[in-house]
A and B are shown apart, each in its own frame.
With several copies, the nearest count.
Chain A
Amino acid sequence: MRQITFSQATLEAMAEEMRRDENIFVMGEDIARQGGVFGQFKGLSDEFGDRIMDTPISETAIIGAAVGAAMAGMRPVADMHFADFMGVAMDELFNQMAKIRYMFGGQTTVPMIVRAPDGLSSCAAAQHSQSIEAWFMNIPGIKVVAPSNPADAKGLLKSALRDDNPVIYFENKILYREKGEVSEEEFLVPIGKANIVREGTDITIISYSIGMKKAYEVADKLEKQGIHAEIIDLRTLVPYDKEAILKSVKKTHRLAIIHEAVKQGGAGSEIAAFVAENAIEYLDAPIMRFGAPFVPVPFSPPLEKAYRLDSDKIVEEILEKF
């Protein structure tokens, strides 16, 4: 199958769906003239003209106007430039976008997508490196996806563009340039379904987005020790695939959760707690979470390196529990 980058995969999803649905349009900073900070909108304005709109540096207006346009029949895509800037529009995200449908008794839908490039890149420091998906797991009314590869990037974005609920689409900055197989046929990846990307018997490793790279590394290293890990790519964080998780844990009796975001209060906490609540009797070892330490992201290369997940350390800690 052909290989394309994650970034190209999102571009294809956008173009295909924008051709299909004329209500889709895109708002954000530097997306029309520049094609996005990471090139993830490159060329779209050639085909779609003023459906790709460069905005002022006004994040509350970007999200707020997207909500308003969604209520008035459009299907806006709002680009956040960096996920780090979602805090600027947090009220619009959690008090408006997430609540409108419910609070108004289902009178309207808010079909919109928030695209949020996240994660460490290369020494972008404290305010340009964050992964804050966990907050949104605590906010009812939003769907949250976080693809880990080009095919999922395309399939989930297409699904999101057809979903009548607000969807936050976390796209990792490092993954943009990664290549992977993506079918030329049209396909969707359903929101809410995890992907068992590797079957195994000895331990379940759950991850999503860039964390999946570590998941594979860790699984490969464990394999060398004769430990067969089952890897679950969560794909969607809200709603997350409870069934797939339980099924796997009941089979492997062990669980490790890996994500790049801060460990304390991270998405892994919810997953771990869910399993401890629903399958503790199947577990032969502590549930392990691996995530960033409890400090802001530092700038200097050796500090950033120390901040990052290290698959050797993860393997070591896992082995200690075997």
Chain B
Amino acid sequence: MERYNKDLLNTLYYKMYKIRRFEENIESFFLNGEIPGFVHLYIGEEAIASGVCASLTDKDYIASTHRGHGHTIAKGADLNKVMAEIFGKKTGFCKGKGGSMHIADFSVGMLGANGVVGGGFNLAVGAALAIKKQKRDNVSVVFFGDGASNRGTFHEALNLASVWKLPVVFVCENNEWASTTPYRTTTSVADISTRAAGYSMASKIADGNDVFDVYESFKEALDYVKAGNGPFFLEAKTYRIKGHYVGDPELYRTKEEVQKVFDENNPIDRFEEKVLIEGLMTEVELEEIRIKVENEIKEAINFALNSEFPDPSELFDDLYV
């Protein structure tokens, strides 16, 4: 564990905890009817975005999904503007035009959540192509679900990235569910990373609820990709703790099933246990981070609640340049 200096440990915990608390707050605001549209929560999957984004800079790109809050926060987007956007305020990243499903922060290389499942694959490949053409030392990452891996865009993107040896990492968040459908009933492989071989692509499976394993695996991917070997496929095994969207009656599975995973395999609990047992961090240090997070979230909520809605006249802004 030597490469885990305090900064890195702090970062990992900070990102995960921030996502968790952000999502918990979003959930209750949504249930209170204060957030418009619909939202998909990332609770229980925080280790993936956090473990991946810990190694990225603002010059690296990520393409995200409908379940994009975690990716956005992990990539370092300003929390105030994320929160404001989800509330539909004009101070949000998209000036209220996007909302939860279209959250984006181009200033940190976050190329957008996507309401189209599987819509991000080719965007990330294109960003990687730009990186290569610009001869930059960056990478592009696409997060996607098990369900998205059955879209044709998966295939076209992986093939193109491979033949053009583009600096892109495909990060599959296999949370076992695609809305109401267990992935095994619609996906013809147990490990989605098996498909990487069909594109002569290097691949790895990580424990998506262990931020250290995600971090290490992604580092390996990054080294591989940055050495000019072409794309890498990382499958992170996880589980969707919350309903598909907030409000999902979840008739397709039992509460017990979910609770069991959450109790036994909560990425934040696992991190805390590990760092405390191995003496890498103290409870005080953890608490400090938690307090920092609470304050940031409180601030973000205030910011969002006190922000104005866009004026109806803004309807016509930002269509064409």
CB–CB under 8 A between A and B in the complex?
Answer: yes
Which candidate, B7-15, B154-162, B294-302, is the interface stretch facing chain A? B154-162
Interface residue count on the A side (C-beta < 8 Å)? 70
Q: Provide the bound-state CA to CA distance between A53 and B93, in Å.
A: 34
- Beta-carbon contact of A56 and B160 below 8 Å: yes
- Beta-carbon contact of A33 and B181 below 8 Å: yes
Interface 0/1 of A34-45, CB less than 8 Å to B: 100000000000
Chain A residues within 8 Å of B164, by CB = 53
Chain B residues within 8 Å of A69, by CB = 126-127, 129-130, 133
* A105 contact from B95, B129, B140, B163, Cβ within 8 A: B95
* A71 contact from B127, B147, B178, B309, Cβ within 8 A: B127
- Beta-carbon contact of A56 and B98 below 8 Å: no
Q: Provide the bound-state CA to CA distance between A66 and B115, in Å.
A: 19
Q: Provide the bound-state CA to CA distance between A270 and B312, in Å.
A: 26
* B179 contact from A30, A143, A294, Cβ within 8 A: A30
Chain A residues within 8 Å of B117, by CB = 57
Which candidate, B41-49, B205-213, B313-321, is the interface stretch facing chain A? B313-321
Chain A residues within 8 Å of B178, by CB = 29, 56-57
Given contacts A55-B160, A64-B157, A91-B116, contact A104 B316 (CB under 8 A): no
Across the A-B interface, how many residue pairs have beta carbons closer than 8 Å? 260
Given contacts A71-B123, A125-B37, A299-B94, contact A108 B115 (CB under 8 A): no
Q: Provide the bound-state CA to CA distance between A253 and B289, in Å.
A: 72
Return the chain A residue nearest B107 by Cβ.
A107
Q: How far is the CB of B59 from chain A (nearest CB, A)?
A: 10
Residue B215 at the A interface, CB < 8 A?
Answer: no
Q: Provide the bound-state CA to CA distance between A69 and B122, in Å.
A: 10
Given contacts A57-B147, A72-B127, contact A305 B312 (CB under 8 A): yes
Which candidate, A95-103, A144-152, A181-189, A229-237, is the interface stretch facing chain B? A95-103
Q: Provide the bound-state CA to CA distance between A109 and B320, in Å.
A: 9
Among residues 40 to 82 in chain B, which have CB atoms less than 8 Å away from a CB atom of chain A? Answer: 61, 63
Among residues 172 to 190 in chain B, which have CB atoms less than 8 Å away from a CB atom of chain A? Answer: 178-181, 185-187
Q: How far is the CB of A36 from chain B (nearest CB, A)?
A: 10
- Beta-carbon contact of B98 and A105 below 8 Å: yes
Residue A17 at the B interface, CB < 8 A?
Answer: no
Chain A residues within 8 Å of B241, by CB = none
Q: Provide the bound-state CA to CA distance between A34 and B101, in Å.
A: 22
Residue B18 at the A interface, CB < 8 A?
Answer: no
Return the chain A residue nearest B90 by Cβ.
A300
Return the chain A residue nearest B125 by Cβ.
A65
Residue A180 at the B interface, CB < 8 A?
Answer: no
* B151 contact from A25, A57, A74, A107, Cβ within 8 A: A57
Chain A residues within 8 Å of B131, by CB = 72
Q: Provide the bound-state CA to CA distance between A104 and B156, in Å.
A: 25
Q: Provide the bound-state CA to CA distance between A302 and B112, in Å.
A: 22
- Beta-carbon contact of A295 and B319 below 8 Å: yes
Given contacts A56-B187, A301-B36, contact A104 B102 (CB under 8 A): yes
Interface 0/1 of A290-313, CB less than 8 Å to B: 000111101111110111000000
Chain A residues within 8 Å of B180, by CB = 30, 33-34, 54
* B111 contact from A54, A68, A101, Cβ within 8 A: A68
- Beta-carbon contact of A61 and B157 below 8 Å: yes
Residue B234 at the A interface, CB < 8 A?
Answer: no
Give the interface residue-count category, chain B. 35 or more
Among residues 92 to 119 in chain B, which have CB atoms less than 8 Å away from a CB atom of chain A? Answer: 92-99, 101-102, 104-107, 111-112, 114-119
Chain B residues within 8 Å of A101, by CB = 318-321
Q: Provide the bound-state CA to CA distance between A278 and B159, in Å.
A: 51
Residue B198 at the A interface, CB < 8 A?
Answer: no
- Beta-carbon contact of B97 and A61 below 8 Å: no
- Beta-carbon contact of B152 and A300 below 8 Å: no
- Beta-carbon contact of A56 and B37 below 8 Å: no
* A33 contact from B63, B252, B317, Cβ within 8 A: B252
Q: How far is the CB of A176 from chain B (nearest CB, A)?
A: 16
* B125 contact from A64, A109, A298, A303, Cβ within 8 A: A64
Residue B153 at the A interface, CB < 8 A?
Answer: yes
Chain A residues within 8 Å of B252, by CB = 33-34
Given contacts A68-B111, A72-B130, contact A61 B160 (CB under 8 A): yes
Chain B residues within 8 Å of A254, by CB = none
- Beta-carbon contact of A54 and B181 below 8 Å: yes
Return the chain B residue nearest A65 by Cβ.
B126
- Beta-carbon contact of A128 and B63 below 8 Å: no
Residue B229 at the A interface, CB < 8 A?
Answer: no
- Beta-carbon contact of A57 and B118 below 8 Å: yes
Return the chain B residue nearest A128 by Cβ.
B115
* A56 contact from B107, B121, B128, B147, Cβ within 8 A: B147
- Beta-carbon contact of B315 and A128 below 8 Å: no
- Beta-carbon contact of A125 and B95 below 8 Å: no
- Pick the 6 closest A-B CB pairs, nearest first: A68-B126, A64-B122, A300-B96, A106-B318, A127-B115, A299-B99
**Chain A contact residues, CB within 8 Å of chain B:** 25, 29-30, 33-34, 53-61, 63-74, 76, 84-85, 88, 91-92, 95-96, 100-109, 122-128, 140-141, 143, 163-165, 293-296, 298-303, 305-307
